[in-house]
Structure 1
């Protein structure tokens, strides 16, 4: 996995709308530093980085970055309760069925 992806994933989920402008700008720069396309393994790791809201559009940037992976993307690790509906957005866009409970 490339260094840029590792750094983004290591910083955890995207912050919510209450984050400072500096934090949002920093995460935006991190996303911009990741060249496209991403590898399927990188896409799966990035899919764990959604926060509780769209983070002023950064969540959509993350979705579009993940979608650059060639071929089928591995099922992401459970993003946890902070991810809101973003895991479902990815599953729908990847053509996966919703998991059964």
Structure 2
């Protein structure tokens, strides 16, 4: 895994909308340091970095980066009632396909 991906993942989930501007800017810079396409392993690690909301659109940028991966990012759990639109989009792209194909 590339160092810039490791650094982003080490930062944990994206902050929510209540985070201070400096924290959000720091995470945006970390994300922008990652060039696509990402490997399946990188995409899987990045998929664990979504926070509780869209973080002023940063979650969508993360989703688009993950989508540069050449294949599915298992496991993508089914979205719950509190899941964000990004989770439903990621699940619809890969999770639902994996569920349909069976174990």
Q: Answer whether TM exceeds 0.5 for this pair.
A: yes
RMSD of aligned residue pairs (Cα, Å): 2.2
Please identify which structure carries the higher helix content.
2
Q: Show the counterpart of 1:18.
A: 18
Paired residue total: 95
TM-score (norm 2): 0.81
- Unaligned segments of structure 1, at least 5 residues: none
Q: Does 1 or 2 have the higher relative contact order (CA < 8 Å, sep 6+)?
A: 1
Moved more, 27-36 or 85-94: 85-94
Cα displacement string for residues 12-61 of structure 1 (whole angstroms, at most 9, x for unaligned residues):
00000000100000000000000110001000000000000000000000
Looking at structure 2, the residues matched to 77 and 17 of structure 1 have their Cα atoms a distance apart, in angstroms, of 24
Larger radius of gyration between Structure 1 and Structure 2: 2
- Unaligned segments of structure 2, at least 5 residues: none
